[in-house]
Structure 1
């Protein structure tokens, strides 16, 4: 929802020095949860491991009912769920030409939902270098890089979780992370095949999808 004020505020909408007065407003955003990868990073960085465990247990209990709270591998299962669902989410973004704009770890939900997308945008035509964020001069979060950024963020999540995992769990978590790219690619292909009306399985499916995206440049 949007709450508008009668008071004016100074805004430089495009950060180009053209400041002007606009009516003040507050945007209210709702989500099932606002916990993000950065929520774990900051606790791991400060060594607050007990608080990190409490936070993880709360998130799992509230939002991941399929994971048993008495399971010694619950953090590993949680990580596996976040990896697969993040891959699904970014593949879905790509299937509709959605660019988040600020894909850092503090804007990536642990529930794999789309949050904190201030300077987002949708492509009018396919362009892997599309950047909706006018302050992203280097194109770090361009639409064609979103899957790679997702992998990077998940690697940071694993780094934050490692103090809570034993050696075997760390090894398994690394294997889970390695499966991200295949999971993303599979879901990406499924979504684009559905858009194109392709039935069955063919070795040429990925080639056709890549070809159609290339010719639409």
Structure 2
């Protein structure tokens, strides 16, 4: 029984079993939930496992391994979304639980391909606001990567957090240290959500 459009019109449909395979099912949300619940030791263990298993170029004793990991995920996710866009692929549900730490396409539920160019194309019938439209995928990817950064914050040193703060300042064109810089960055990050 399926209510495809969640409108009370339930239909009987044939069923199927689907086997999904991936190198890893760890997602941004896997780290986000540990960080939010204050399980920092478990967060660190999971990060070390993921890095050890899937990011062999990052040394386990590198004091900046979490920054290098983040930088790699940001780069690889940007390339993945660019590949999606290049073939007209719309993921359908681009939340942090559906974005892989390995920057591979997993859990793409109600996905679809554009027939002709339309940045408002949404394959997910429950997304009536167009939050995950094909034209919004890059911004949603950025949002998810900001959530990843927030999740990583508890395992970063104060110096590493300051370096990231400096990167945000440079990205925003804030070249001098001003008293309100921290507030402005926090405000802009909040406003982008």
Where does the alignment leave 5 or more consecutive residues of structure 2 unmatched? 172-193
Displacement of 1:171 in angstroms is 3.1
**1:121 counterpart residue number:** 112
SS in 2 for 1:47: coil
RMSD: 1.8
Larger CA deviation: 41-50 vs 19-28: 19-28
Number of matched pairs: 171
After TM superposition, the structure 1 = structure 2 runs for residues 161-180 of structure 1, keeping only pairs within 5 Å, are: 161-174=152-165
| Residues 82 and 122 of structure 1, relative CA distance in 2, 3 Å threshold | same
Displacement of 1:31 in angstroms is 0.4
- Aligned pair partner of 1:65 in 56, 64, 67: 56
1:19 matched to 2:15? The reply is: no
CA contact (8 A) 1:37 1:109 kept: yes
SS in 2 for 1:126: coil
**1:90 counterpart residue number:** 81
Larger CA deviation: 151-160 vs 13-22: 13-22
SS in 1 for 2:119: coil
- Matches of 1:94 and 1:12, distance apart in 2: 30
SS in 2 for 1:21: coil
SS in 1 for 2:94: coil
1:157 matched to 2:156? The reply is: no
CA contact (8 A) 1:100 1:120 kept: yes
What TM-score do you get using the length of structure 2 for normalisation?
Answer: 0.84
- Matches of 2:43 and 2:90, distance apart in 1: 31
- Matches of 2:167 and 2:76, distance apart in 1: 12
Alignment deviations for residues 2-32 of structure 1 (CA, whole Å, 9 cap, x no partner): xxxxxxxx11223233212223322111100
- Aligned pair partner of 1:111 in 91, 99, 102: 102
| Residues 41 and 14 of structure 1, relative CA distance in 2, 3 Å threshold | same
